[in-house]
Amino acid sequence: MSLDLGYASDSGEEDVANPFGLPAPVAKKPRVEESAPSQTVPSAAPHVLLEDPLNQTSLVTRPTDTQMNVNIPYSDMMLPVQGPENPFGDRNRFQNQNALAGHVEEQSMSEHAFKAQHLTHAMLGYSANPSIDPNAPAILGSLEKAQANGFATIDTLRAPKMQRKELKRKRKDKGDLEVVDGDGAYVGPWATWEGEEVQNDFLAGVEVDDEPEEEEEEPEVHLPTKKGKPKRPVGVGHEHSVFHGKSMTDYQGRTYMSAPVSEAPHLNSEAGSQDCFIPKVCIHTWTGHTQGVSVIRLFPETGHLLLSGSMDTKIKLWDVYTHGNCLRTFHGHTKYVKDVSFSNDGRQFLSCGYDRQMKLWDTETGQCLKRFSNGKIPHVIRFHPDEDKQHIFLAGMSDKKIIQFVTTSDDKTIRAWDYDIPVVIKYIAEPHMHSMPADNFRQNRKKRFAGHSVAGYACQVGFSPDGKWISSGDGEGNVVFWDWKTGRIKSRLKAHSKVVIAHEWLPHETSKVVTASWDGLIKLWD
């Protein structure tokens, strides 16, 4: 066996420098030492980047904190909504919603901007289109009217200079305070303007119509004013009422004037014969007045109907025993209703308000039978207590006089005069007494009931039917009950959120009281 030790070159020729034919050594790559893998070393005190406390953006809380107080920048609050979509929400709530009149979009605007556009469209006939659809018109309604007014809204629109000068015409004389009727009679702020035709003449002095007015709604007359708001005419001569039931009579032909003896047989009993107790729980609430309630009166003898007057200028008649609903609403006053009063049989009632009007109403039909005024504000109004003199009533006026009116006469006129002798027959005053503009009382110096706050309010005072308890509302929404014998407070009932201005005990019940408050609610307690 032979061993060939020759070297062979790449060209196939024999390499002279390698006579033994050994294989050529292979060049080795230089060894690169790999660095050891990096290791995280825990540190007991990590480096914390401190923020400027005046420009701090992070929210730092402690485990014991129950509240997080932070002022969010306005730029953050105005950022678009981010994050995952609610899988349970309506997926089409941000899309155009098809509707009968087009489509519905979600928009955001302030209450002032919405009211301005709403009133502009209602009064001027145009408004800005809030749609973000580029193909939608910019103006809704009459484009001609919008161009004529310079696309202004009702809150920025001003009358032309010539029209403003016309509105500054000279006003007629207010009249003489001593003249009740005829030429030169006092009309006060209702004096007309020169050159103006009076469509609804205010009753100067005392006027009356013998025939009842037909139910008629007030016409909507928009008169220009400086603030651009519509002004409706005075409600004299436009009195009407609205019946809220389905039928005026039941299956026996009885109206709501009849007492519900079948539902409440004890209404036939004598009032005050039962022992009375202090109420504790609210069992019913009458809602319907949009402003504070100023006065309530129960139907004479039975108390099955409730009459209420309110600051919203409306008078409402409520059912007490059957369904507890509103039976009729009387429209006639144009300002805050101050007082109402039933006649002895309850078939008629009187009302007075800050519009200087006194009105006689039919309780059953809702008609306004007569109207009275002497130019002053009446605060209290009452029928004569005698059965034979129900055509006479008294009114306490703002000029510190009591006026007597006669509701019927043969010559179709009414006369006004100071009631009997205009001299104070008795004067009662004590240092601890507050004003009592709504209370009829006989002073007993041995009895004094205190512990309630009524300063500044004419809260009504009442007695339980059996005379055991005396009660009064207060300015904090409470009804306070005293023991008549001892004069001590027995209970303080939190009834309303505002002043309890009036309350009435149901004459045939043991512990039922009706309360009325300036929060607009009327409640029945038991």
Entry pTM: 0.53
Q: Counting beta carbons within 10 angstroms of the beta carbon of residue 309, is it exposed (0 to 12), middle (13 to 18) or buried (19 or more)?
A: buried
Q: What is the SS3 assignment for 216-231?
A: CCCCCCCCCCCCCCCC
- pLDDT, one tens digit per residue, over 121-166 is 888 889 998 887 777 888 988 999 999 888 888 888 877 777 666 6
d(CA 341, CA 298): 9
Strand, coil or helix: 449? coil
d(CA 326, CA 320): 9
DSSP-assigned letters across all residues of 355-398: TS-EEEEETTT--EEEEE--SS-EEEEEE-SSGGGTTEEEEEET
Phi and psi, residue 116, nearest 5°: -65, -45
Determine the residue type at 212. P
In 3D space, the residue among 108, 83, 105, 80 whose CA is nearest the CA of residue 92 turns out to be: 105
- pLDDT, one tens digit per residue, over 435-490 is 555 555 555 667 788 888 888 888 999 999 999 999 999 999 999 999 988 889 99
d(CA 117, CA 95): 24
Q: Describe the chain by its helix, strand, coil percentages, rounded to 5.
A: 10, 25, 65
- Is the Cα dihedral 312, 315, 320, 324 positive or negative? negative
The pLDDT value recorded for residue 11 is 46
Residue with the two structure tokens 């006639």: 332
Are 514 and 524 in contact, with CB atoms under 8 Å apart?
Answer: yes
DSSP bridge partners of 310: 293
- Is the Cα dihedral 189, 191, 197, 203 positive or negative? positive
d(CA 283, CA 286): 10
Determine the residue type at 416. A
Are 369 and 360 in contact, with CB atoms under 8 Å apart?
Answer: yes
Are 378 and 356 in contact, with CB atoms under 8 Å apart?
Answer: yes
The pLDDT value recorded for residue 238 is 84
C-alpha triplet 82, 85, 88: angle, nearest 5°: 150
Confidence of residue 413 (pLDDT cuts 50, 70, 90): very low
Q: How would you classify the pairing of strands 97-99 and 522-525? A: unpaired
Q: In what order do the strands lie in the sheet with 348-353?
A: 337-342, 348-353, 358-362, 368-372
Phi-psi label, residue 194: left if phi above 0, alpha if psi -120 to 50, beta otherwise: beta
- pLDDT, one tens digit per residue, over 202-211 is 333 334 444 4
- Is the Cα dihedral 366, 371, 372, 376 positive or negative? positive
Confidence of residue 391 (pLDDT cuts 50, 70, 90): confident
pLDDT at 14 over 90: no
The pLDDT value recorded for residue 263 is 84
Are 325 and 338 in contact, with CB atoms under 8 Å apart?
Answer: no
d(CA 469, CA 489): 10
The pLDDT value recorded for residue 422 is 46
- pLDDT, one tens digit per residue, over 198-233 is 444 333 333 444 444 443 333 333 334 444 444 444
